[in-house]
Structure 1
Amino acid sequence: MKTEHYTRSLALPFVLALTATLTACGGSSSGNDGNLQVGEDTKYVAVIATAASDYSSGEVELAELDKEDITASGGYFSTISDITVNAYGENYYLIEKFNGDSIKKVNVSEPAIATWDYSTLAAGDEGSSNPYKLVFVSEEKAYLLRYGASKAWIVNPSAATESEFRIGELDLSAYLPEDTIGAPNMSSGVIANDKLFITLERLDSNYQPTNTAYVAVFDTTTDLEIDTNPESTESLKGIPLQGSNPARIEHVEGLGLTVVNRGAFSSPFTGTGLDIVNPETYAVSSLIADEDIATQINSAVFVSPTQAYILNYSGWQNLALQRFNPAEGVSSLEDVADLTGGDFRALSLSPEGTLWLGDANTNAQGIRILDTTTDEQVDFVETQLLPIAITFLETEK
């Protein structure tokens, strides 16, 4: 077990690392990881993953929500720029992704100290495991999605030693397509109705989403894969998606499982859209279909079955925040305020119901906080580096 203290680096080397694999990693919002409950005795803290504009470094900044003027503190754990954050209870987890291959657990009461720092590589792993997300069942059980590997890990986030961290695995090698980069590319996951749903991009050898994307489903009690269509002759047990290159899956009460499909990485963005998956019947429908939109849906947040927001990507550093009614679909899309043509890299709904937009425009970098009733900006949280992912944790006041 490693317990270390990290401080901000004052002199960071310039290393520009925009490879095809990093492009495939994508990124946006971590959300609140589905475990927060608003209460009078609870304090909420935003955990913000940030990155340098030249991709030379990354770090974590924290912001308390119950302040009149919210400010960010940090940064903590200066590291690579390809990072994200997840949270559960009073702890957040810093995930160092491509070639970082590690996770740090941090209690919010000691924000500069890692409770533990564990590797995401197993003996015999070749290349980077590229960890993407922790999906929590409890304090003692979570699923670690590894984008660069064929096996997700079942882990114990409360493990006192690294040898006790990995307690099992889910084998997703059946989803390797014939034309593959060597992994099924598990990109996101969510738990609903005691089932784990994992999105699989299945990129081809040119890092393009030409293969059918799937959602694999596992019973969280037995950790066995569920055959979602036992009468089909298809050899794969999972759910084939209508869109391609899924980046995020979320459970929205009253709507189902929403899947953000980015489609192709460049124009004409073939395969982008929003799919809806019924968590019981596994039926798939399209909320916004590929043919209905010419741009790329980069991220989405759902306030309710009748109110949602997307980051609509037209090109590099050219995104628009748009609001729409899922009951009406693409016809209801409309720009929010003047938030168009910007470099927006994160979108998340706070436990208080405000919308947090990560603005990576270097002349005004930080978090724009919007009232979802009026769409007006109610606060701005300046960050030292560019915000790339946001999650929320809860602690006692």
Structure 2
Amino acid sequence: MARTEIMKKSCRRRLAGVALLVLVLLAGAGPSWADYAYYYPRFAASDSRGELVGLALTNTAAAAAEVEIVINDQYGVTRAVESWALPAYGQKAAVIGGDLDEITGSFQVVSNQPLTGLCFLFAEAMTVMYDVPGTQIPKNRLDIPHVAQDDMWGMRLMLSNPGNQPLTATLTYRDQAGIDAGHSHSVGLAAGGSAVFDLGEVIGTWGLAGMTGGSLQLSADQSGIVAFSTYDDLKNGGSFYAGLPAFDSSLDVDNFTPSRAQYAVVSCAAPDYGSGAHALIEVAKPRAFQQNLLPTISDIRMAADGAYFYRIECFNGDNVTKFAAADPATPLWQYSTLDPNEAGSSNPQSMIFVPATASASAKAYIPRYGSTKMWVVDPQATEEAEFKIGEIDLGAYADSDGLPEMSKGVVVGDKLFLILGRLDADNGFVPTNTPYLVVIDTATDTEIDTQSGGPEGLHGIPLPIKNPLKIVYNAAAGKIFVQGVGRYASSWSGTPAEYSGGIVAVDPATYQVEMVVDDGDDANHPYGNIRNVAVVSATRGYFVSYVSWGNTALYGFNPSSGAVDAAPLAAFPGGTNIMDLGVDAQGLLWVCSNSNAGGTLTIINPADDSVDQIQALTLNPQGIAFGTW
């Protein structure tokens, strides 16, 4: 039997006999579909390091409890969701995240009944175990009552940010007399993200060899955090002893919002494209929705960041409107995407968000299809004069029409990967030029030379597919996926389709590009043009097969191997008009499809490609984005 399986079975046996000693936590704010939420600052799964996580929960209510365990990686990306059912007064203990490996992060437990609970962190092939209780109310100030970092003791701190906004946590040391010794350390946490650091490494930056006695104060610049400290008994071979930080009740965060509750915001258009609006749908069942919100033009895109979403009016709209998800029909502001001296349409296409760090505030990028300059903006700006904070000139990629046709992008770590389609707008937007992914350092807003050896001596990554439209990043696969459509056939002009598209994978570290799904050639193109893509996991993704206007199908494929299912999904075998795909935090696929009578949102479970729900809309959904509140 493999060593990992022995460890997991041993862990399960030990967990089965654990008695829970933690008192019931007081009820607090939780996700919109649950009454109770509990936060744990540490999750670690590693076969190589012998790390496992166990969880024991007891339902203290006289009614059955529905429980979900949401595991995030250190960047705040949800990597697994597990469901437990606990009978009245029932108990369960088990390993969680058993299918994950080489993942560090945090997790939370949400339930419709009050629970008691304890997390068990196993390390070093189960020779070490320490216990972490859940926290129900994160705070923006925590006190760790004892410091021990010297030749005899090693101290480690675990932090998590369960909120829906990035934050900076600052650690300050006070000596035994309560005096601020002038030593501090800051760390940035993504929304839903976490961090772990050894105090020994931190105090080394303070010029100290050791520190015994005194206390540590943790403060967050917004929302609330959860923290836990461990003490490594170096003199006795490294056994762990856990210490729980004291909460400072004078600094409760009344408006804390957990990151678990997710919503979808959808851009919609009338069947004749004479008008448009947006819709908001709660991701958790029963999926309450609001539609036909604040009607406008049909050429709109949606972007979401935490509890706020943004409606982008594109060609000749040239503006961005901010909304709170809690009040999705009421604009907070609307700002132009044109400089005062600009003529024509800037044609903004998207907003790509960069979370705050310890040294920089949050910001966003707005690719402008009708310009050579991408804007850098402050989404928190309360005055239009404060909205634009910079720009990035991408004119080096302009083709004969004078524009690089920038559209969509993703942020991976500290890099922005942005699509430059480089279509020939003077001749009907034909894909005659090599498209690129340009890579931007988000700390400096400057282009990175990827040294990819493009044919034109440019710094970006040349793409082997034409007319790229969609870009997504999947953390489990560790790759960026870009879909290109080639060129649609035109019944109006008689131009045939061009099969120069497909799906490629890009390594965000090495910039290597590999073809995953090729759309074929004039003689053999089994999927027609490939219109859209979504990646659920390292082994499951979906793309839209386009045959003609109003005639699309949905295929599953393996993003790692490139293998495509032999037949399209039963729910979308052909004859429908699929416009966009999206993946929610639970790993479900959302399909936007159109018709002359109105559209539908169809939610697919990738486990078996079954239909989870169909939601009819009066307008046709064009695109989808997800946020949290």
Question: TM-score, normalization: structure 2?
Answer: 0.55
Post-superposition offset of 1:335: 0.5
**CA–CA distance in 2 between the matches of 1:360 and 1:257?**
27
Residue by residue over 1:36-86, the C-alpha shift from the partner in whole angstroms, topping out at 9 and shown as x without a partner, is 657534322111111000101100111112233x34213212100011101
Residue by residue over 1:209-256, the C-alpha shift from the partner in whole angstroms, topping out at 9 and shown as x without a partner, is 100101111111111111111877843111110001110111122241
Post-superposition offset of 1:383: 1.2
Question: Does 2:282 match 1:64?
Answer: yes
Count the aligned residue pairs: 359
Question: Which residue of 515, 540, 547 corresponds with 1:286?
Answer: 515
Question: Does 2:389 match 1:160?
Answer: no
In structure 2, give the amino acid aligned to 1:380. I
Post-superposition offset of 1:359: 1.8
**CA–CA distance in 1 between the matches of 2:581 and 2:452?**
37
Post-superposition offset of 1:264: 1.3
Of the structure 1 ranges 370-379 and 288-297, higher mean CA displacement relative to structure 2 is found in 288-297
Question: Which residue of 196, 201, 223 corresponds with 2:416?
Answer: 196
Contact persistence 1:187–1:246 (CA under 8 A): no
Residue by residue over 1:122-169, the C-alpha shift from the partner in whole angstroms, topping out at 9 and shown as x without a partner, is 122221111111110026301111111110001000001011000001
Matched residue, 1:187: 407
Matched residue, 1:25: none
Q: 1:117 to 1:300 in 2, by over 3 A?
A: same
Post-superposition offset of 1:363: 3.9
Contact persistence 1:309–1:321 (CA under 8 A): yes
Say what the alpha-carbon RMSD is for the aligned residues: 1.9
In structure 1, give the amino acid aligned to 2:482. V
Contact persistence 2:594–2:600 (CA under 8 A): yes
Matched residue, 1:349: 583
Contact persistence 2:454–2:462 (CA under 8 A): no
**CA–CA distance in 2 between the matches of 1:210 and 1:138?**
36
**CA–CA distance in 1 between the matches of 2:559 and 2:329?**
41
Contact persistence 1:72–1:382 (CA under 8 A): no
Question: TM-score, normalization: structure 1?
Answer: 0.86
Q: Percent identity?
A: 38
What secondary structure sits across from 2:396 in the alignment? helix
Residue by residue over 1:320-365, the C-alpha shift from the partner in whole angstroms, topping out at 9 and shown as x without a partner, is 0111122332553530014121011121111121111112123462
Question: Does 2:569 match 1:336?
Answer: yes
Q: 1:232 to 1:371 in 2, by over 3 A?
A: closer
Post-superposition offset of 1:371: 1.1
In structure 1, give the amino acid aligned to 2:469. A
1:40-189 aligned at under 5 Å gives the runs 40=110, 41=258, 42-68=260-286, 70-138=287-355, 140-177=362-399, 179-180=400-401, 182-189=402-409
Contact persistence 1:57–1:79 (CA under 8 A): yes
What secondary structure sits across from 1:163 in the alignment? helix
Q: Which runs of 5+ in 2 are unaligned?
A: 1-74, 82-107, 111-257, 357-361, 490-495
Matched residue, 1:358: 592
What secondary structure sits across from 2:329 in the alignment? coil
Q: Which runs of 5+ in 1 are unaligned?
A: 1-33
In structure 1, give the amino acid aligned to 2:488. F
Residue by residue over 1:260-314, the C-alpha shift from the partner in whole angstroms, topping out at 9 and shown as x without a partner, is 0111132433311111112122121111124374511110001112111001101
What secondary structure sits across from 2:279 in the alignment? strand
Question: Does 2:498 match 1:276?
Answer: no
Contact persistence 2:469–2:484 (CA under 8 A): yes
1:256-267 aligned at under 5 Å gives the runs 256-266=479-489, 267=496
What secondary structure sits across from 2:446 in the alignment? coil
Contact persistence 1:71–1:381 (CA under 8 A): no
Matched residue, 1:325: 558
Matched residue, 1:223: 445
Contact persistence 1:243–1:290 (CA under 8 A): no
**CA–CA distance in 2 between the matches of 1:43 and 1:309?**
25
**CA–CA distance in 2 between the matches of 1:265 and 1:126?**
30
Contact persistence 2:271–2:598 (CA under 8 A): no
Q: 1:35 to 1:56 in 2, by over 3 A?
A: farther
Contact persistence 2:598–2:619 (CA under 8 A): no
**CA–CA distance in 2 between the matches of 1:268 and 1:109?**
44
Question: Which residue of 273, 298, 304 corresponds with 2:531?
Answer: 298
Matched residue, 1:248: 470
Matched residue, 1:8: none
Contact persistence 1:201–1:213 (CA under 8 A): yes
Post-superposition offset of 1:89: 0.5
Post-superposition offset of 1:172: 0.4
In structure 2, give the amino acid aligned to 1:257. I
Residue by residue over 1:189-224, the C-alpha shift from the partner in whole angstroms, topping out at 9 and shown as x without a partner, is 011131111111111121101001011111111111
Post-superposition offset of 1:384: 1.9
Matched residue, 1:10: none
Contact persistence 1:246–1:262 (CA under 8 A): yes
**CA–CA distance in 1 between the matches of 2:265 and 2:76?**
15
In structure 2, give the amino acid aligned to 1:213. P
Contact persistence 2:555–2:565 (CA under 8 A): no
**CA–CA distance in 2 between the matches of 1:260 and 1:252?**
14
